[in-house]
Structure 1
């Protein structure tokens, strides 16, 4: 499972641009075999752009937990196994016409992809291992 990240590592990763955070997320998710989301009593946290409704995902518990403040302070990080993601979440998100915002930062900036694109990147990374 995932190792705990120290403050220096977290700060360095938070300084990455959206594309570099995307690549980091793909590698971490495959290495740790889990994806992190935020949930509350209503379910999964959603972010909205002008065009799309998105589910934010993070590579590690620490980054998801950092988002659980302000309007999301009642939310809890929740891991989803990579197998469960592939078998349920990708199709569920597609069926609900939702996108994924990968590893959004504090300014809510992240790479937005369709579920099948995210799945493709995860599987491509898994083949490299």
Structure 2
């Protein structure tokens, strides 16, 4: 695994626009083989701009921890292996028509992606 990021680097990545954080998420999750959610007797959920539930996921424990505030203050980061994400979690979300909120920042801004689409993006570069 890579070394911990500096505070300045964490802040710089969090300040990226949502679509850039999405690309960063894809690269990091492919490299590390893991993603992170927030969990407390169930996964934390967020809302997209249309008010639909999404499951927020982050590329590292540190970013997930940064968002364990306000409504998620009682939640703790939980690791999801890439294989579990691709084989279990994303198919279950797709079945329930729940999207993934990729890489939320502490202000609640993320990038909603359909679960099946995110799976395709993670296995390789999604063809347009």
- Same-fold call, TM cutoff 0.5: yes
| 1:21-40 superposed Cα distances (whole Å, 9 cap, x missing partner) | 00000000010000100001
In structure 2, the partner of 1:124 is 124
Residue equivalent to 1:71: 71
Cα RMSD, aligned residues only: 1.2
Q: Which runs of 5+ in 2 are unaligned?
A: none
Count of matched residue pairs: 124
Q: Please give the residue correspondences for 1:1-12 in structure 2 after superposition, counting only pairs within 5 Å.
A: 1-12=1-12
Is 1:48–2:64 an aligned residue pair? no
Specify which structure has the higher proportion of helix: 1
The TM-score with structure 2 as length reference comes to 0.91
The question of whether the paired residues in 2 share the 8 Å contact of 1:2 and 1:60 is answered with no
Unmatched segments (≥5 aa) in structure 1: none
Q: TM-score, normalised by structure 1?
A: 0.90
Where do 1:57-68 residues align within 5 Å?
A: 57-68=57-68
